[in-house]
Amino acid sequence: MGIDRASFLHILPEHGLDSRSRLSRKRLAQVMTAKKAIVWQWDFLLWAAALWVFSGAIWWLAEATVQRGQLAHAGIVLCFGMFALLSDRPTGSRLSLTFDAVSLGLLISACVVAAGAGLWQVPWLMALALGLLAVAAIVFVFGERVMPTAVGFGLAFSGFTLFAIVLPFLDWPLRLFAGKTAIWMLEAMGSAAQLGFGADRSKLILMSAGRPFEVAAECNGFGLISGCVLLAVLLVFSLRLRLFDKVLSLLLAPLLGLLANALRIVLIVLLAPFVGEHYFLMHEAVGISLFLGTLILLWWLLRGLSHRAVAPLREDPVPG
């Protein structure tokens, strides 16, 4: 079947328009690719400048974390909690990996606060600046949809930095509290115990059933207590909780850590006569079990409170 000249002339411009349209789309794709490359270059320069501003503080915090095992334990708890919350994101959601007004504003604010901390030599301002930097990084990577989690992590990371600053001053107060609380628990169980200093007063000794137990720096419970506090801060500001539940959680976390650490000392004292040469193995097993168990309990409690907060109210049936 043939086609006349008029029909051919009618079809030809359409094919020309399709060709020009394809060329336009190709050109647009090239322009967008070039634009993205420029944006990535600016993003890289901004993060490089920010890391240069924070390089001293980040290096100091990294050294303190490596040198103090309890601080490292708290940092690991914080990171695991963060990853667990981010894993609840909808599957298939794309990463942002670009600055928007919020992340850029947070980054600039972090640098300004860091400059003020360096100028006035105020450590807690640097802790705040590092928290803002952490929030900016999370929003940059995941976008504004994770803002509650980012804020929770930023506040917890500021707390982690403050813990690194005050840890040397909390060692002996925490050791004394742990020892005295362990004595109270042992006496409540009917076991006589005493707490005192060694000959050179550099050691805190707990005596029970004629056996001495040193309450060393590793027994002050700082890792467990700070881990509980940081996890609570992360969850309280990341999850939907009632105001009363938020306050209750923040008060419960350090108390739970303090009591769990004292209970660890009590269990070690009670089990010591039965393990013989396996004392060190028992010591580590009890410590790890209570450390993980306390954090899991705190996680379970706070997640339970969040489920209660978002649960819909049950409607009473309307009488017919």
Average pLDDT per block of 10 residues along the chain, 320 residues long:
49 50 57 55 91 95 94 95 84 77 96 94 95 96 93 97 94 95 94 88 89 92 96 94 94 96 96 94 96 96 80 45
Report the pLDDT value the prediction gives residue 90, as an integer from 0 to 100. Answer: 62
Q: Collect all residues with Cβ–Cβ distance below 8 Å to 232 and sequence separation of at least 6.
A: 249, 250, 252, 253, 298, 302
Ordered by start, the domain boundaries in the chain are 169-310
- Give the per-residue pLDDT at 306: 82
Look up residue 64 and give its two tokens.
């303190």
Q: What pLDDT does residue 109 have?
A: 97
What's the pLDDT score for residue 9?
Answer: 45
pLDDT at 312: 47
What pLDDT sits at residue 199?
A: 77
pLDDT at 12: 45
